[in-house]
Structures are given as structure tokens and as C-alpha cells.
Chains A and B, each alone.
Chain A
């Protein structure tokens, strides 16, 4: 049984689209509240044994010009209901397979359950996402900034947090610069 079928059987509605891109199996989790349960199922089920969490990261899609994957989601959601995407890279050493879980989060106060009870390694990784992207992980034992000073304002990897320089204009990037101008520091 494929992992997607098993997930659908166990979690039903919570499992969204699955797609394969460049040999990578990507599964969307539609209900962020279920993520810890999904991860713990994938870790413990003897058929899959995704016991190793390789990576945990987040994407801000505020200024993206088009969706990066053919997901069938409404691209307009990229500034609202699906602005942030949290990625989980699971690795099964037994089957030598990776699984990429994706969770979409809204622009307002994004948060989802922590997977630290499932993998200890999520501790630093979630703190990094919290620090740089401003996504809260409920149930994380020690959610505070990790790379930036404690009194830092804002979350630098968000797209509305401008870099400290202005991009040089060429004919090909007028539009993008114009688009990002509203976020520039005054």
C-alpha cells in the first residue's frame, strides 16, 4: 500500500493533494492541527518508518508571481489563506525514501502544532522557522528566537521584510521592484 493511500485511510479529509515532482513525493496536509498526528503515524507505522526528520522549513509566498507546484489551489490564496507553507522532509532509512509534507497557513498569526514530541530534532528547526518566518509552534517546549537577538523586531525571511539594499534596475525587473517597493524601509 502506498503511503498516500494509507494516509487517506487513516486521516481522511485532512490529507489534501498529493503530487510527484522531479521524483519527489509531495503530500499536502489540509488541516494544520493534524500535522503532529500525521507525523507520529508515519514515524511509527511499520510499513513506512519515517523515523528521521531531515528538514523543516517555511516559505512565504506573498510576492510570488505564480505557484511553484501545480497544486490546483487558487493562486490568489498566496497572499491570504495559504501565504505560508511549512515543509517537512521525512526520511525512511528502512525504505530509502523521502516524503515531503506541506502545510499551508494563513497570513494572520500563523501557527500549527509542534512536532518536537515526535522528533527531538524539530526543536532547533522549529525555533529557526519561528525566528525568521514568525510561525508559532504550539506545544514547543522553548519557543524563542534562536539566530537573532531576543529584542529583534520582525521576521526577516518574510517577504514584507525588505533586505537592506535596493535592487539595481534592469529592463527585466522593473515590475518586481515596483511590486516590492511598498515594503521598503523608509
Chain B
């Protein structure tokens, strides 16, 4: 879609309440959402319909806007981690990772090797858990409710692992600037090995339910097509970008957190439709497990926090014996640390695409500006292109294939 061909329906004001009024050319204007089970949260679409055919779709967002960027300006650098959890709430650890890496870049420090490997393990498990929710909802939106139940059963096992590490199942806040909140418990390795042993068979099970399911094929093949050029210009990421044939993955192409040390394939598609995105995400989950296995095999011993006490608080035990440790602890938790003046942008491959964080410091303990480039927010733009000329029922399949999380769209 180019700028000049934008449809006049876009300029329709969005008053509160129902907007079921005739549009131009006797088209029906249908307000879909924000309270609609298939919009994955509080997405509202203003659909202009010709019969059952969508002429134009305009997303109306912001119902979940919580001012996270403004909030971040009032928090110290370490405290901001807790609000990053709440953007993409299906992949909080990926958000933690992007933010922690951005601030570490600003500070010019790097997390210790053990912390980096644990970050990779958990970020990849997070990718699987995020994709599982996508898989379940994609199936459910098309009527395959059993997939949803199966996928969330497996996600439960992953949430147990996050709980084991951080104490929280979703809002983990586990990756800190300069390392981790704390080391993983001894049961961690066994729990992850169990996942590695169990999950491939589960993925086979989902594929048996969907990959050759005639109804699923009928509903997804040839739908929501984005060409390679459109995908790049629209700035979409993740499986949508790769589904359209763009061979790009930040983990491989601009590695961070030591991703260059792991062998993994980046699944690439060509057709750019909903079905291709389904195939890619399932293959991505298998690749994630491959990375987790390699990371777990090489998990080094050592500290999980950098030793710089001006950034990371000292171990709890030291507080009882060392006055200096006590002072550092107190200063860090009241005042926080002060990165040198500077700006940093860090993009990571989150489950949904490029999650970018820009942090700006003027030498004080709170960021002057923290900006988050949410992949869901950017990917949502492609919806209008995907659904043009399709049936209303296809809109649901397209939304699901974009895999939006409204917490991140609205921030």
C-alpha cells in the first residue's frame, strides 16, 4: 500500500460507542472489537465491507496504552526491567533481554559467560512458549480448539521453568543489567532436559493435527500474502518477514549474547501466506530446542553477575559482614547506577520480530528516554494489506498469523 492510495475510510472519526453507520459508496462499516475473542486482546478494527468482502481495514489501537515509556523515565535503570515485562507479556524474558543488552551497551559492560548462556536458554524457551500460545490461538481461531488445549499444556511446563528460576511464571524480571537476578537452582538442568526430551514428540503431535488437516489448509493457504518487497517496506519481522522470503534473523546476522556460538538453521519460506508462517514457527520451535540443547551442554560455571558493585548489588551474605557492601546495596536500591551520557539502540530477535530498545542517558540515574520498538506494533500495520479483498472470516486467521500482543502494540 502506498501513501497515496490510502482509502478515505481511514479518516472516519472514531467516536466512543458503536459505529455502525453507512460508509461511502453504501459500504457497511463494521466495528470489530475491541471486545472480540479473536482479536487477541483489545484490538479494534474498523472494517469497510462490501457484502462479506473486506474493502479496507483500519486498526484502532491504544486501548491498552499504559504509558510505559513515560513510566520508565521516572524509574531507575534497574527498575525499568519490571515494566518491560509488561509489554509483550507472552515473552517477558525477551523484553528483559533487549533492555538489559541496551543498557549494557550504554555502560560498556558485558554479562558474565554463565549469565549469557542462561539468557540464551531462557530466551529460546520463551520463544517456544510464545509460539505455543500463537499456535494454540491460531488453531482456536480457525475452530481447532484441541490444539489450543494441547499447546497450553506444554506452555505450562515452560512457565514452571521460569517460576523455578525467577519465582514468577510470567513477569519474570529475571535478566538484570549486568547479569541475572540470581543463579538458576540445581533442578534447572534436569527440568530443561525433560523439556528437550518431551517436546519434539509434542510438536509432531501438533503437526499431525494441523499440517495436513484439509480444513486448516483450506483456511490458511494463499491467505494474507505479503510479497518480499512489501514485507521489507512494512518493516515486519519474525516469521512474517521470513515467510515472505527475506532471509533475515538478528540472532544469526547480527549476533548478540553469544548466539554466534550455536549451530541453528533459520527456516525460510517463500509463499508469504498464513500457512507458511505456521510452518516456519513450528520449525523455529524445533530450532530453539536445538539451541537450548547446545547451550545446556556447554553451560559454564562461574558468577552470573558482573563484579562491578556500582552496577550490580553485592551478594546478600556480604551485607552482614561488610560495611562497604552495605553502602553499595543501599546506594543501588535508593539511587541506582549512573551510566555515562550516551545513547544506545539494541535490537534483538524476539519471538515476533525485531524488539528494539533505545536508551538515552544524560549521566543521571534514570533514563531521559527509553523507547521500545515493539514488533507487534509494527507487524500490525501489515494487516490492512493482508485482508484486502478477503472475507471477514479470513481477517481472524490473518490477525492470528501476525501474532500480535496488545500489551506491546499499545505499550
Q: What is the interface of chain A, defined by CB distance below 8 A to chain B?
A: 21-24, 26, 51-55, 57, 59-61, 63-69, 87, 89, 91, 93, 96, 98, 100, 114, 116-117, 119-121, 123-125, 128, 132, 139-142, 145-150, 156-157, 163, 165, 167, 170, 172, 176
Contact = CB atoms under 8 A, between A and B. Distances in A.
Nearest to A125: B378
Contacts of A26: 343
A24 B344 contact: yes
B368 interface: yes
Contacts, number: 147
Given A68-B361, A87-B358, A165 B74 contact: yes
Given A57-B373, A66-B362, A87-B358, 12 more contacts: A59-B360, A91-B347, A93-B253, A96-B253, A119-B233, A120-B235, A140-B3, A141-B10, A145-B62, A146-B62, A167-B74, A172-B365
B345 A124 contact: no
B381 interface: yes
B381 A59 contact: no
B254 A68 contact: no
Classify the secondary structure of B's interface with A: mixed
A55 B345 contact: yes
Interface string B386-411: 00000000000000000000000011
A65 B364 contact: yes
Given A22-B342, A55-B371, A124-B378, A148 B70 contact: no
B62 A148 contact: yes
B62 A121 contact: no
Contacts of B14: 150
B359 to A, nearest CB: 10
B23 interface: no
7 contacts: A54-B373, A55-B347, A68-B361, A123-B381, A140-B3, A157-B70, A163-B71
Q: For chain B, give the interface size range.
A: 35 or more
A153 B233 CA distance: 32
Contacts of A21: 342-344
Interface string B371-382: 101000110110
Contacts of B234: 120-121
A54 B362 contact: no
Contact of B369 (A59, A67, A93, A114): A59
A132 B343 CA distance: 20
A57 B377 CA distance: 13
A142 B6 contact: yes
Contacts of A141: 3-4, 6, 10
Contacts of A165: 74
